[in-house]
Amino acid sequence: MKTRKNITQVLTKYTLLILLLSSINLFSQNSTKTNLIPMNNKNIVENKIDSLLSIMTLKEKIGQLVLYNGSWDVTGPPSDVGNKEKYEKLKNGEVGAMLNVTSVSGARELQSLVMDHSRLKIPLLFGYDVIHGFKTIFPIPLGESASWDIEAIEKSSSIAAKEATASGINWAFGPMVDISRDARWGRIMEGAGEDPFLGSKIAVARIQGFQGNDLSDNKTLAACAKHFAAYGFAEGGRDYNTVSIGEYELYNTVLPPFKATAKAGVATMMSAFNEVDGIPATGHKKLQREILKKDWNWDGFIVSDWASIAEMIYHGYAKDKIHAAERAIIAGNDMDMEGRAYEAGLEKLVKEGKVDEKLIDDAVKRILKVKLDLGLFDDPFKYCDETREKKDIYTKENLEFSRNVAKKSIVLLKNDKDILPLKKDIQSIAVIGPLADDKDTPIGSWRGMATANSAVSLLEGIKAKVDKNVKVSHAQGVKLGKDERNFIKELAINREDTSGITEAVDIAKSAGLVVLAIGEEAFQSGEARSQADIELTIPQQKLFEAIYEVNKNIVVVLMNGRPMAITHVAEKAPAIVEAWHLGSESGNAIADVLFGDYNPSGKLPVSFPRSVGQVPIYYNAKNTGRPSNPEGLVFWSHYTDEKNEPLFPFGHGLSYTTFDYKDLKISSSSFSSGGNINVSITVTNTGKRKGKEVVQLYIRDLIGSLTRPVKELKGFELIELEPGKSKTVSFIINEETIQFYTVNRKWEAEPGEFKVFIGGSSNTLLETGFSFEK
């Protein structure tokens, strides 16, 4: 392996390249002063790209479409490409990007191989799964979405970008914007839940956090909206599984967050592992080339998911890698992540006339544009700053914000008799449960470069919060897992051993109150972590029952990456706190809420089922032709052994204060094309504490050319009120608000009657109505 060369030598060689390219008018009129040309000039950028493309060989073009794993981390099946072969391809300019290179030294080494040896010296992209932080870890995306705080979500992404770019990374494989209604699907933890409106707002916030206002700023990176499309609708909630979805469901539910990210200028998108109605998403021409690139006029590039081009062989859609390459490039997939299909087949396919080289040119141009936008042609080593790597990562300020957004993400599900908040001078607390002293589970799945066991545990947070004379006792009760946690191996979950319950019961008997930390360990959710059973494990259920029998003052702290079916616990426990996997400062944030230093304000971004048999369950469902049983007959849409309603609905979340909604007003009972109406509500804090509330606007389209959901979120506002204070919250409803993808196969607003609901959750009954006329 060659040692690192002097940066001056590298830049000298690069300058010679600039002078060479200037002779073919690559840099327009002032070719020797590349940094003086405004990069926002679309024609200049296109001229640069076209000029470079004109001198590239076919092999060099194909090289830009190749993405290799750097072997520093593994986020998919191991590659069969050895380091020696990778280095040779890098030297030859046959690699366009690397992933899982997680240090400045690693990025500099590989970038130097390209800049020192390749003919055209086209810089590499360095990608990584920056999902909810890099070194400083924030709540898992589903949990952070429960904050409904768009500014906080954007800031956490910007901090993650700052840390990642300080480590040599310039491309994040995030955000995941898949809508999912199925709690069995492990990757539900990685998105924003079940609603396309909320999901779209959060997706754009994450992209703006990653990309900032200037992609050439070395503290920002290129974002990647994933997975295009319908990945969250996998049958049975089983990861990588088939998706069968109708056209109207696709357009109205799945695609809106992707369209919002395209409009927001997301630099890249990632195709999905699943098939959509018989065609693997990676080879789906309608999705990629027609909808995304043509209809939405999006100019970024699409990268496959890990080996998903080659996996079309297993789908039965391609006979070998060459055939898979043909189908993927024609469909519009630009870059091959670890599939080795493009390098194996594209040159042969072009020479045989099976693939038009113009398709490859289009893919290359899209990739080069992102590299230009990042400023890599001006300085290939701009993300290789050892000083930043030392000072910008895991800082005190970043940890403080992690705590801030973590407490905003906590949802108070239940609080009978105001058992919460706790008093700091309480005589004794028993902190019990398999997750009570766990410093690793709060980091969650998809944890970036987090240090294992680095989170603040719940036990630590409580001990730091209470007075010194408060007795804090602890017992694990039961274990969650049997083996050491490992991202790439199957987990051995404890489903039988209850041997520690006796000790837990003993300390619970004498405690004034029990804080019971139960749920899921870090890697029970995430990629490939689908579960048929989403209830608590039997040992945890037995632990709860045994504790409840001797001490009914229980506060359940639920730590989990998905909605769980906790009906039996919810029936008995007086208080339940949804604490997700909250990241680096988890224990401190939970303690802030438990003891009232922060008044909980989170709202669920996803419905919690009563039973796994209800899944998929979601608030914006259709009414059906038999929605009720007014005569008490059996012939209606229901279960004979369970209620239809979720345990906790979308938008639900309590506070230590109370809010009253009144005076719902509408400015007009109708409006027409080009017009709008105003809907307002007065919200009053009727309790004794200052608190935040997410005011939610829902609309129902009563009659449509297609059947419409019983309720759809169309607006929300996060407000904060002092006790006794009121605020009037207003929403504008216009033609765009009520549009949907209609039977005419286009987005439009249909004339008709509508209901409007405003309240603190999707269960709100406060309503008015209006009509729309074209």
Residue 709 sits in a domain whose CATH number is 2.60.40.10
Give the pLDDT score at 21.
Answer: 46
39 pLDDT above the threshold of 60: no
State what percent of residues in the chain have pLDDT above 90: 89
Assigned domain for 461 exists: yes
Crossing angle of helices 458-465 and 586-594, in 10° steps, is: 50
Give the pLDDT score at 7.
Answer: 41
- Grade residue 491 by pLDDT with cuts at 50, 70 and 90: confident
Same domain, residue pair 172 and 295: yes
Same domain, residue pair 131 and 241: yes
- Grade residue 147 by pLDDT with cuts at 50, 70 and 90: very high
User: For 196-253, how does the pLDDT look when each residue is reduced to its tens digit (9 = 90+)?
Assistant: 999 999 999 999 999 999 999 999 999 999 999 999 999 999 999 999 999 999 999 9
User: For 660-678, how does the pLDDT look when each residue is reduced to its tens digit (9 = 90+)?
Assistant: 999 999 999 999 999 999 9
Whether 304 contacts 271, CB under 8 Å = yes
Last residue of a domain, one of 585, 614, 643: 614
Give the pLDDT score at 70.
Answer: 87
Whether 415 contacts 599, CB under 8 Å = no
Same domain, residue pair 455 and 372: no
DSSP 468: T
Say how far apart CA 192 and CA 305 lie, in whole Å.
20
∠ at Cα 770 (764, 771), nearest 5°? 140
Assigned domain for 16 exists: no
* Token output for 156: 């956490």
Same domain, residue pair 496 and 582: yes
Chain centre to alpha carbon of residue 771: 36
Assigned domain for 2 exists: no
Same domain, residue pair 447 and 525: yes
Give the pLDDT score at 35.
Answer: 35
Residue 120 maps to which CATH number? 3.20.20.300
Give the pLDDT score at 679.
Answer: 98
Say how far apart CA 590 and CA 403 lie, in whole Å.
9
Half-sphere exposure of 517 (CA within 13 A, CB side): 34
DSSP bridge pairs for 729: 681
Give the pLDDT score at 569.
Answer: 98
User: For 552-572, how does the pLDDT look when each residue is reduced to its tens digit (9 = 90+)?
Assistant: 999 999 999 999 999 999 999
Give the pLDDT score at 32.
Answer: 31
Assigned domain for 630 exists: no
Same domain, residue pair 442 and 330: no
Whether 373 contacts 212, CB under 8 Å = no
Assigned domain for 677 exists: yes
Same domain, residue pair 116 and 210: yes
Average pLDDT of span 1-24: 42
Give the pLDDT score at 76.
Answer: 55
Same domain, residue pair 133 and 201: yes
Give the pLDDT score at 18.
Answer: 47
Q: Which H or E run includes 548?
A: helix 538-550
* Token output for 319: 């006979």
User: For 581-605, how does the pLDDT look when each residue is reduced to its tens digit (9 = 90+)?
Assistant: 999 999 999 999 999 999 999 999 9
Same domain, residue pair 341 and 481: no
If phi over 0 gives left and psi between -120 and 50 gives alpha, with beta otherwise, what is residue 534? alpha
Average pLDDT of span 279-283: 98
Active site residues: 305
- Grade residue 19 by pLDDT with cuts at 50, 70 and 90: very low
Mean pLDDT of the chain: 93
Give the pLDDT score at 471.
Answer: 97
Assigned domain for 40 exists: no
Whether 334 contacts 359, CB under 8 Å = no
Same domain, residue pair 588 and 689: no
Residue 579 maps to which CATH number? 3.40.50.1700
Give the pLDDT score at 488.
Answer: 78
130 or 632: which carries more pLDDT confidence?
A: 130
User: For 735-773, how does the pLDDT look when each residue is reduced to its tens digit (9 = 90+)?
Assistant: 999 999 999 999 999 999 999 999 999 999 999 999 999
Give the pLDDT score at 513.
Answer: 97
Say how far apart CA 79 and CA 339 lie, in whole Å.
9
Last residue of a domain, one of 389, 418, 436: 389
277 pLDDT above the threshold of 50: yes
Q: Name the residue range of residue 594's domain.
A: 404-614
What's the domain count of the chain?
Answer: 3
Assigned domain for 557 exists: yes
Q: Which H or E run includes 432?
A: strand 428-432
Whose structure tokens read 């959750």?
A: 761
Q: Tell me whether residue 557 is exposed, middle or buried, using C-beta atoms within 10 angstroms of its C-beta: 0 to 12, 13 to 18, 19 or more.
A: buried
Assigned domain for 495 exists: yes
Q: Give the list of residues 6+ apart from residue 373 with CB closer than 8 angstroms, or none.
A: 39, 215, 216, 222, 267
Whether 374 contacts 367, CB under 8 Å = no
Say how far apart CA 221 and CA 99 lie, in whole Å.
14
Whether 283 contacts 325, CB under 8 Å = no
User: For 307-322, how does the pLDDT look when each residue is reduced to its tens digit (9 = 90+)?
Assistant: 999 999 999 999 999 9
∠ at Cα 334 (51, 189), nearest 5°? 135
Task: Give the global pTM.
Answer: 0.94
Whether 419 contacts 442, CB under 8 Å = no
Same domain, residue pair 415 and 544: yes
Average pLDDT of span 323-340: 98
Count CB-CB contacts under 10 A for residue 88: 14
485 or 505: which carries more pLDDT confidence?
A: 505
Give the pLDDT score at 71.
Answer: 67
Same domain, residue pair 602 and 722: no
390 pLDDT above the threshold of 90: yes
- Grade residue 82 by pLDDT with cuts at 50, 70 and 90: low
Give the pLDDT score at 79.
Answer: 57
Last residue of a domain, one of 360, 389, 418: 389
94 pLDDT above the threshold of 90: yes
User: For 122-136, how does the pLDDT look when each residue is reduced to its tens digit (9 = 90+)?
Assistant: 999 999 999 999 999
